[in-house]
């Protein structure tokens, strides 16, 4: 027979260990299995010498960690760097950037197919045209067509022809006269307004490997650099470009390349610019940002 007293004693004997012993056991299990470097080594080592070594390493690492954290927090609140932003209104306005417009085609279609009877009238009769008249007649090619064929197939052309034209065929002259002319026949393909009034200064032409480019506010040819005092469409540059698709000879793009760059700087039409497609209006906002780095005074 099991009485209540015996049952109470039996339950007490099988009850869980004291809380303090349980915490000690859990702490030891954690210390021996943790991936925290050094702690598991200290508890798993059976030799007192190695325990002392592990203890020194752990305490040293903990001290170094605490020092680095304290130093980082201290440096953060010392604020060693100061950023100062100033808004300054420049008297006379800011110098307006150069705006370059590049033709979408290196050559102009009607120039390339101009017959010999109109070469003189349009000042297209370069020396190479006269020297190749007989050859072109046999192939029924206009001067522009034939000369471009020579440029594109120079490795395949008979050497006698190359030798004949070597001293009279000026490639730069050919590209200059037969290039896509944004100011065709004296009538402007570019209409320009500066601050609501027609532009007084001219566009400066530059011949590139992609064709002619025309720059507004270049500061060249006696043109002074213009400045803008206020933002907005009516306070800066507005221009229209009339591109006739029938005038394009080899252009894969039907619009024009527009480049904004620093005055007097070099530009690359297909790296620095963007295409303005025909039939649309494009507005560009320009913001000048100047960054000056001051050397430390400490």
Shared-domain flag, residues 115 and 190: no
- Is residue 297 domain-resident? no
pLDDT tens for each residue of 25-67:
777 777 667 766 677 777 777 788 877 887 888 888 889 989 9
- Is residue 284 domain-resident? no
Give the end of a domain, one of 177, 201, 219. Answer: 177
CA dihedral (106, 112, 118, 123) in degrees, to 10, reads 30
pLDDT tens for each residue of 256-282:
888 888 888 888 777 777 877 777 788
Shared-domain flag, residues 160 and 209: no
Range of 151's domain? 109-177
What is the reported pLDDT for 176? Answer: 82
What is the reported pLDDT for 189? Answer: 66
pLDDT tens for each residue of 67-91:
999 998 988 888 777 777 777 777 7
Looking at the structure of the chain, the number of domains it has is: 3
What is the reported pLDDT for 12? Answer: 52
- Is residue 9 domain-resident? no
């Amino acid at each position: 027979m099991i009485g209540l007293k015996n049952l109470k004693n039996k339950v007490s004997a099988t009850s869980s260990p004291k809380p303090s012993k349980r915490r000690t056991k859990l702490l030891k299990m954690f210390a021996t299995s943790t991936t925290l470097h050094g702690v598991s080594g200290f508890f798993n080592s059976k030799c007192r010498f190695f325990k002392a070594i592990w203890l020194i390493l752990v305490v040293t690492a903990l001290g170094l960690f605490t020092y680095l954290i304290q130093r980082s927090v201290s440096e953060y609140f010392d604020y060693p760097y100061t950023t100062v932003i100033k808004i300054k209104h420049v008297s006379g306005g800011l110098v307006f950037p150069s705006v370059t417009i590049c033709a979408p085609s290196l050559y102009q279609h009607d120039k390339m197919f101009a017959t010999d009877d109109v070469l003189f009238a349009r000042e297209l009769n370069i020396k190479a045209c006269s020297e190749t008249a007989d050859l072109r007649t046999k192939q029924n090619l206009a001067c522009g067509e034939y000369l471009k064929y020579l440029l594109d197939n120079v490795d395949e052309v008979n050497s006698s022809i190359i030798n004949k034209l070597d001293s009279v065929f000026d490639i730069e002259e050919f590209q200059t006269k037969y290039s896509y002319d944004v100011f065709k026949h004296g009538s402007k393909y570019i209409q320009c307004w500066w601050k609501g009034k027609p532009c007084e200064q001219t566009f400066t032409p530059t011949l590139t490997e992609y064709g002619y480019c025309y720059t507004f506010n270049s500061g060249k040819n006696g043109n002074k650099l213009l400045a803008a005092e206020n933002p907005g469409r009516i306070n800066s540059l507005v221009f229209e470009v009339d591109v006739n698709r029938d005038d394009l000879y080899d252009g894969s793009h039907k619009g024009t390349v527009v480049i904004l760059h620093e005055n007097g700087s070099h530009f690359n039409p297909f790296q620095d610019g963007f295409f303005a497609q025909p039939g649309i209006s494009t507005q560009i906002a320009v913001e000048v940002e100047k960054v000056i780095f001051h050397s430390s005074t400490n």
